Structure 1
Amino acid sequence: MTMREWRLPAALILLGLVPMIAGAARLTELGTGPEVTPANARFVADPLPVVLHIVGAVVYTILGAFQFVPSLRRHRWHRRAGRVLVPCGLTVAFSGLWMAVAYDLPAHDNDVLAGLRLLFGSAMAASIVLGLAAVLRRDIAAHRGWMARGYAIGLGAGTQAFTHAPYLLATGEQPDGNLRAGLVAAGWLINLAVAEWYLRRPSRTPLAGPARRPRAGAR
């Protein structure tokens, strides 16, 4: 890859760094037999969905970032990586839905946020399935679009760290209720908007060769 091609995957991985660090801390906590608190009780009582979610999300975030590199999309690596990314992405989506249904609501959440998690988790799973169906029928443009949208939703936790930051800095407290639901939704919507811009922007790929001038006298 050229240095220019490195920029996008590096930016995507950096965006996912905060949730990846938080996820690693959660796994470490669960692996050390933690004291049960209101903040971790649901994870200690039923750790499987959160473990699947964190592990799947780390692989999906890092490996998925490199699927946006044009030079790699022209090699077999893209297809091989996709065979890992599809199950990882579905694991992230379905484990997120599992947690939304099975876990009690945390103190700062409400039913609106629970509904949004079900909505966007379902949208992520649907995007990945539609992307897989598109590539199987050789519709590469549709495949690229649906996979980009699924990745954008999957990377929502990274953007949500930034949508929450101004409130945290101003008040020193976590937002709650409908405000928190709005800030979480904003993270997903911002990512989807950027994904749509990325998909619709004019291509900068150079033409295969210079245009030929017509010969003198040609009509």
Structure 2
Amino acid sequence: MTTLAPARSRKRVTAALLALTAVPVIAGAFRVTELGTGGAVTDDNARFFADPVPVLLHIVGASLFCVLGAFQFLHGPRHRVLGRLIVPCGLVAALSGTWMAVFYPLPAHDGDLMMVLRLAFGSAMAGALVLGFVAVRRRDFGAHRAWMVRGYAIGQGAGSQAVIFGCWIAVAGQPDVLTRALLLGAGWVLNLVVAEWIIRRKENR
């Protein structure tokens, strides 16, 4: 029973992460379909139609990173193989996200704070993945795990943001620009707090 319980726990974690990923993946699939089929151009999506490559890279990279990354918590025999796919996908997601924050025109519901947050967390995600890769090359598996957990936590920000944002709208209605930025920022911060708890818990065992 001592071996079955951890395995079941890891499966529950993977299932929860896949559920958290579902909303942004579905939203991303809708965006890809919209761009591919020539949907109606609006103020909200005009920047994507004008330059679709960065947003397509971001959607595909982030979706693969979050879905495949969820299975890494199972610690199965494919961990190394999946890792070789996950790191490039994560870097594509992070770097395309920072590119969009700088070069896409800001939509009406965003502001300068939102741009700063996207730059900060996108850069932090890319940095964490690079540090995780460097650590595993040194065979420092503890540091590798810690940095990859942090990078994955940031990459999963969209899932937590969807939950936080949905709860806010249900209670208080649509937020203003500043509140929206703070709510979305809270999703990244919450994920990183959970990530650090997981890392510290593993280190103290």
Q: Give the TM-score, by structure 2 length.
A: 0.93
- The code of the aligned residue for 1:201 comes to R
Quote how far apart the aligned CAs of 1:171 are: 4.1
Quote how far apart the aligned CAs of 1:35 are: 1.8
Q: Counterpart in 1 of 2:185?
A: 185
Q: Which runs of 5+ in 2 are unaligned?
A: none
Matched residue of 2:110: which SS?
coil
Q: Counterpart in 2 of 1:216?
A: none
Q: Counterpart in 2 of 1:35?
A: 40
1:53 aligns with 2:53: no
Contact 1:61 1:155 in 2 (8 A): yes
1:4 to 1, 4, 9: 9
- The code of the aligned residue for 1:53 comes to H
Q: Counterpart in 2 of 1:95?
A: 96
Quote how far apart the aligned CAs of 1:180 are: 0.9
1:79 aligns with 2:80: yes
Cα offsets for 1:128-184 (capped at 9, x unmatched): 0000000001110000000000000000000001111232113443x2321111101
1:26 to 5, 23, 31: 31
1:121 aligns with 2:126: no
1:63 to 68, 71, 74: 68
Cα offsets for 1:17-55 (capped at 9, x unmatched): 111110010001011111211011000000001100111
Q: Counterpart in 2 of 1:150?
A: 151
1:169 aligns with 2:170: yes
Relative to structure 2, which stretch is displaced further, 33-42 or 116-125? Answer: 33-42
Contact 1:9 1:66 in 2 (8 A): yes
What CA RMSD, in Å, does the superposition of the two structures yield over aligned residues? 1.6
Quote how far apart the aligned CAs of 1:202 are: 5.1
In 1: Cα distance, 2:204 partner to 2:18 partner? 23
Quote how far apart the aligned CAs of 1:126 are: 0.2
Q: Which runs of 5+ in 1 are unaligned?
A: 206-219
Quote how far apart the aligned CAs of 1:103 are: 0.6
- The code of the aligned residue for 2:130 comes to V
- Distance verdict in 2 for CA 1:122–1:202, change over 3 Å: closer
Matched residue of 1:201: which SS?
helix
1:14 aligns with 2:19: yes
4+ aligned runs moved over 4 Å, structure 1: 202-205
Larger radius of gyration: 1
